Structure formats: structure tokens, C-alpha cells
Amino acid sequence: MPETVPACAPNAAAAPRPRAAAGEHAHELASGLGCRIGQGTPDWPAANDETLQFALWLRGHGLVHDGARALRIPPHHCLGWLGRGAPPAVQASACALHVTLRIARPALQALAGADSEAWLDQPGATPLLRVTAASSRCLHSAHELVTLLRDGGASRLLLDAKCLELLAHLLAMRSDTRAPPLSPTQRAALAHARERLFGNLADPPTPAELARGCGLNPHRFKQAFRSVYGQSIHAACQAERMRVAWQLIASGETDVGSAGHQVGYANLSHFSVAFQRHFGLRPSELKRCAAQAP
């Protein structure tokens, strides 16, 4: 079952994308590095040359589609994409706040040298897509940059320095999600394990049970699952629970308590807290909106 955003959530293709006023919430360096503060869905233009783009999520949630994968972007995580042409489709909550950096591969190599190798010297062909938890240094640098761009008045030299500082911290991040290569049989077993996980959200199988079905030890299974799907087993299960709960409530045919029970919550208050944390509104609010829809 592919992961999708709920039907009533913001749509990447249809939702208007906010544009930054020239010189207000955007900054361009002579080196070719571009920086922008954005809300809602990131405005990533197509890249004629191979380009590295980062979107550091400071607030709200996102979902990025990469072929068969759908990677969730929680707050304080960074989406990185290396490729050319049209970037991956990204959907975001309306309250999302992010800092995006964009630089072409030749410019990045000239600017960062060996510091760019963690991204540019990856095995396999591009495009490369990764969602990684942001470091405290990245978050601190990003918040400082947001303040400078929004307040205005900062010198170009200071803005250049802050953009480069953030880029350096982003390049320094290492992904801990790599797993040893999987055989085609193991990949098929992993996909089946994910279907089993999503097939019984009220009482999902344990990671150990799923691992046995794949012929992997639990540690290797967790590594492989995160590497292929970009999320931990728990995070993937929780995202699917929230997706299904949204659809049940938005249909108008299921009350909040029943929706929570169907996705594994015996306690209504726990379900409401998890739902609001995930979507930014209470399930009762969604229920009222669904009832008022024409």
C-alpha cells in the first residue's frame, strides 16, 4: 500500500506556492548558492544541470514522493535531493516553514571541495533522495538565517556568511540509514513485510516477527527498512495510522473514537494528541469540517 498524504491535506500540484519578494526572504551568492525562506510547499524549480537542493524543515510536516517510495519529512529534518530536471513531488502542511538551499554540482565542487563528497560521491546513478534528522548546529544556523532575512538590514557579507555556514553544516551531516545491499528476494520480502505492517494497524506485527518473515535478523531488518523506505518501522506505522484515521474521519461515516480504535488507539485522548501532533488539528475539528462539506 503506497503512502500518501490524506485526501483533504494540501496538494502539491494544486496548492499555490508562496513566492518570496525579491531581496526579502531570498538571497543569492556570487558562487551560485541560492537560499530562500518558504512556507507551505517548497518551490523547487527544475534543474538543467545536476543540482543539490536542501529543504530544512523548521515547522510542519511534508511528504516527498520518489517513485514507489513516499518519505515523510517531520519537523527538524532535512530533505536533500541531488539530480537534474524536475525535482521530486513534495507535499507540505500549510504551516510548514523551511529554509531551502540550491547549488549546481560544479559550483558546489568548486566551493566546498572535499566537503561535498558525502553527497556527490554516492554509488549508483542520480537522482539521489534523502531525509535526515537535522543536527542542532543546522537548526541553530537556519533559525539565525531566517531572522536575518525576515528582519532585513543585514549586510550582504553577513548573509553570504550565514548561507555558507548553513551549507557547511548540511554537508557535514552523515546518513546513518545505509544497510548492506539486499537481494531481489529480500526486497520483495521487505515489501511484503511492509504490507503486513500496514494490514493490521490495530495490532501490528512486531519488528522481530517481520524480520523472521524476511529471513533477516532484527537489526539488519530495521536497517534495510529504513534504507528502502526512508523511515523507521515505528514512524512508517504511525504515519500510516494517521493517514487511515484521516480518511476514516473525513469520509463522514466514522466517528473519532471508532477511527482511533481501528488504527490501534484504545485511549481517545492519546489518539487526539497524536492526530493533532501529526496534522496540526484535532480529529474533532476534522469531523466538524467533514460534516459541513457540501
Segment 42-71, tens digit of pLDDT: 877 788 888 899 999 998 888 887 666 678
φ/ψ of residue 34, rounded to 5: -110, 140
Share of the chain above pLDDT 70, in %: 83
pTM of the model: 0.54
Q: Is the pLDDT of residue 73 over 50?
A: yes
We find that the CATH architecture of domain 26-172 is: Sandwich (2.60)
Q: How far apart are CA 103 and CA 218, in angstroms?
A: 39
- pLDDT at res. 12: 35
| Alpha helices, H only, 86-183 | 105-112, 117-120, 136-151, 156-172
- pLDDT at res. 65: 78
Of these ranges, 13-17, 103-107, 131-135, the one predicted with the greatest mean pLDDT is 103-107
Q: How far apart are CA 91 and CA 5, in angstroms?
A: 8
pLDDT digits (tens, 9 = 90+) for 170-187: 988 754 444 456 788 888
Which long-range contacts (C-beta less than 8 Å, at least 24 apart) are formed by 191-198?
193/221, 193/225, 194/1, 194/225, 194/229, 194/236, 195/1, 197/233, 197/236, 197/237, 197/240, 198/1, 198/237, 198/240
3-state secondary structure of 162: helix
Residue-level length of the chain: 294
Mean pLDDT of the 234-238 span: 88
The domain covering 184-292 belongs, at the CATH homologous superfamily level, to: Homeodomain-like (1.10.10.60)
pLDDT band at 192 (very low <50, low <70, confident <90, very high): very high
pLDDT digits (tens, 9 = 90+) for 205-216: 999 999 998 888
Mean pLDDT of the 273-286 span: 88
User: Do the Cβ atoms of 239 and 223 come closer than 8 Å?
Assistant: no
- Domain map (residue ranges) of the chain: 26-172, 184-292
